[in-house]
Each structure stands twice: as structure tokens, then as C-alpha cells.
Amino acid sequence: MKYFLTAIFLCYSIYIWAQPRVISGPMLGPVELRDAKVWVEVSPEVKTVSLQYNKKGEPKISKTINYKGELGNDFNPIYFTVGGLHFNTTYQYKIWVNGKPTTKTGEFTTKDLWQWRKPVPDFSFLTGSCSYFNEPVFDRPGTPYGKDSSIFESMAKEKSDFMLWLGDAWYTRDVDYYSEWGLWYRASHDRATPGLQNFLKAMPHFATWDDHDYGPNDIGGNYILKETSRNVFNKYFCNPSSGQNGQGIYTMTTWGDADIFITDNRWWRSADETKDSIDGKPNPEKRMLGKQQMEWLKNSLLYSSATFKIIAVGSQVLNPVSPFDKWWDFPAEYDDLMNFLKEYNINGVVFLTGDRHHSEIIKVERPGIYPLYDITVSPLTSGTHIFGDAEKNNPYRVLALDQKRNYGKISFTGKRGERKMTVEYLGTKGEKLDEWSISENDLKTSDSK
């Protein structure tokens, strides 16, 4: 009888598993004034997928979008673009599979048209990096590296406008590095983690990558599967754009009076072991962002009139004493950006970074102009560490948080001309661990205040 019941259970499990279904999602992509993106992944058995939507409170007046792309593959991440929407309006949606409604539902609210009409709005976003989900058969032996993923349930309850992933949203393993199928599998497997699902639909998601969701540890432009990795990333996140001319994944978004430049620190990256200098001068061939992306970033900063200009990077930027990869270790490109910011008097610049498995805020003074800050938020679920060696008493650090998994909540508040940016570090249960804030006037040179 025992074996009979076990056989029935296994057959039933296989039957359920083989049914057409939504594997993960829905997840919100960018939500703008007139359109929104909704992402899902469906199983190979699915023949048709649709999204039905309506204004909240008007369920009888609905529209349906049918997905017209390819299905039936091993991995089927797709997204819908819902257009022709009204600004500052809440919509409800439901995913349909093979002509039948599913339980996968959600809602979103389009941005408000405040420009030239209303005061600049207060808003906030969540951020973090280093999200490891255990899979013992492929993980390294020993203590599991991934920890409690309930942090995403806490994040789902936050009333924030969007989430910005700062890299390592999933961790490729040794079995994935040189397998195209493995790269697809890793993103699909980790995205389907049950504890992640409520968070995915709670708010729009934007992302950059770092080494682990790009490929092997610390790798850069030499990665032989970089094209596949870029394709996977673009299928599992639906950023507003993805680089230019088929290169890189950099993009940007605007919320309120903040422009957020989401950079790519891997596609063009020189090997970390490349010499920083040659004959006593910075090596111009050692680059992290690359020429194409640097030109885009400079032009974007010059064009921006935002109060706050947030530059998001997978690696730390400013930390002079870090023993690990940072933009500082690419001195020709780093100096080029610093000189550019000074020459053109670019106000409001703050760096936002991940990677380090600790959180901190680094401050670097610039004589005659305002100081620069590097706000690091890490990790979400992966391992942590203790500040040690030169970093133990880092003189450039203004806030320190190690040995704690956490996420960041960054808020922008106040009247025009008196805006303030506040950074809260929050623990796995949403408890406040630390806080720091700065005024827009502290991010300006004296002659422009």
C-alpha cells in the first residue's frame, strides 16, 4: 500500500507539473504616464497567453492583449506592453493561459503628470544587490550561502514607487558558466522562487547586472557567452532600453526630480588584472564602462536638469581602501569622469552601488566643489562579512553596516529648492537599521546654490 500511494503521489505531481501554467510572475516593468509593462514566464505546455486589464472599479470595461511571440521553448519569459493608458490612474490585470483565467493578478498606477502643473512630488524607491537562492545539487559543499528570503516579503509591503536591482539578482554556478542552457535555467529557476512572487508584482522593477548574473565571478568583456547573457538578462528584466547598437545593458529612468542612470560595468570591462598605469600614467586601455557607454553617460548628465542625478553601478565607485573591484581601479576612465563632473559643474551627483556583501556610505571630498557619495546596499540574501583590514576603520566611511542582510529605501521629499534625499537601511523584517540624509544644496558647488 505504501508503494502504491507513493506511485499515485508521483503520478499526480508529474501531472500537475506538466499542466500549462505560469511559472513565475507577474512582475511589473516600467510604468509610465501612458503605458506599462507586465512580465511573466509560462511553462512549455502553454499555447496562448493573454493579459486582460481594466481601470480599477470598472471590471466590465476591459481590454485584452494577446501575446503573439514564440512559445513552447524550455524557457518562456515574456512581457506585455499595455499602452493608451491615462496618467495617475490605477489599473487591474489578470493573466490568461490557453484561453482560461489564472489566479495571477495584479494592479499598477501610472505616473502623474505633475510637470508645469504641480509641486515636485515626494517619492521613494527600494534597492539592493546580491540575491542568492540555494540549489544544493549545484551549490558548493558546506554551509548554504543563501539565507532567509523572507526579506522579499518585507519589501513587498513597502509603499515605494519602484525597485532598482544593483546586480547579482541571481547567481550563476559552475555548471552554468559555459552552458547557454544553464544561463537560461539559472535565471528561470531563481525567478520562480516562491518568496519572491509577491514582491515582483508589488512595484515596477529596474535592474543592472554585476558579475554573478552576467557570468563567472569577476569576469568582464572577455566572457565568451556575453551575447547569451545579455539576451537572458533582457528577457528576465524589461528595462526601458538596453544599451545601444546591440551592446551593453545601460539605460535610465526618471522619477520626480531624480534622473537615475543605470550603468553596465561588465560588457566592456577590462580584466581586473590589467595594469592600472603604464610608465607612471593611467592606462587608457583599462576601462570599466567603455567608450560608447561613457559618451552616453556624459551626454545624459549634460542633458539632465534633475535635482538629483543618481548613477547606479554594480561595483563600488569611490572607496579608496577597498581591496576588491571598484571604478577607482580603472584610473584613466575614473579620472575622466571626475574631471568631466568638475569641468561642467554637474550638480546633484550621487553614486549607488552593490556587490560588497555589506552596506556603507563612502564620502570623498573634492576641493572647491561639493563632495561625492557612494551609497552601497548589499546583500539581500547572500552571505555577509565583517569589516576587516584597511576597511575596518575606513576614514572615508560615514555610515557602516556589516553582518546584516538588508535592503535600502531611498526617499526624496521637500519643497522645490529644499529637496532632501534620505537613505534608510532596513533589515529582513523591515526594521530600520540605520539612516542618513542629505540636502540638494549639499550636492551643489557654492556658486550654483
Which CATH number characterizes residue 283's domain?
3.60.21.70
pLDDT in tens, 318-358: 999 998 889 999 999 999 999 999 999 999 999 999 999 99
Print the domain residue range for 102.
18-109
| Burial tier of 177 (Cβ tally within 10 Å: 0-12, 13-18, 19+) | middle
One domain, residues 57 and 172 = no
One domain, residues 84 and 222 = no
Radius of gyration of the chain (CA): 23
Q: From 76, 109, 142, give the residue that closes a domain.
A: 109
One domain, residues 159 and 271 = yes
Count Cβ atoms below 10 Å from residue 197 Cβ, excluding itself.
20
Kindly state the DSSP code that residue 443 receives in the 8-state scheme.
G
**Is 5 inside a domain boundary?**
no
Per-residue pLDDT in tens (0 to 9) along the chain, 449 residues: 544 444 443 343 344 456 899 999 999 999 999 999 999 999 999 999 999 999 999 999 999 999 999 999 999 999 999 999 999 999 999 999 999 999 999 999 999 999 999 999 999 999 999 999 999 999 999 999 999 899 999 999 999 999 999 999 999 999 999 999 999 999 999 999 999 999 999 999 999 999 999 999 999 999 999 999 999 999 999 999 999 999 999 999 999 999 999 999 999 999 999 999 999 999 999 999 999 999 999 999 999 999 999 999 999 999 999 988 899 999 999 999 999 999 999 999 999 999 999 999 999 999 999 999 999 999 999 999 899 888 999 999 999 999 999 999 999 999 999 999 999 999 999 999 999 999 999 999 977 66
| CB burial readout 342-380, b (16+ within 10 A) else e | eeeebbbbbbbbbbbbbbbbbebeeeebbebbbbbbbbb
One domain, residues 244 and 342 = yes
Q: Is the pTM of this model over 0.85?
A: yes
| Burial tier of 3 (Cβ tally within 10 Å: 0-12, 13-18, 19+) | exposed
One domain, residues 175 and 55 = no
CA distances 48 to 82, 98, 100, 103, 265, Å, are 17, 5, 10, 16, 37
Domains in the chain, number: 2
Residues 407, 380: contact at Cβ < 8 Å? Answer: yes
One domain, residues 82 and 143 = no
**Is 9 inside a domain boundary?**
no
CA distances 410 to 71, 85, 161, 377, 417, Å, are 38, 28, 10, 11, 19
One domain, residues 75 and 213 = no
Interatomic CA distance for residues 406 and 421, integer angstroms: 19
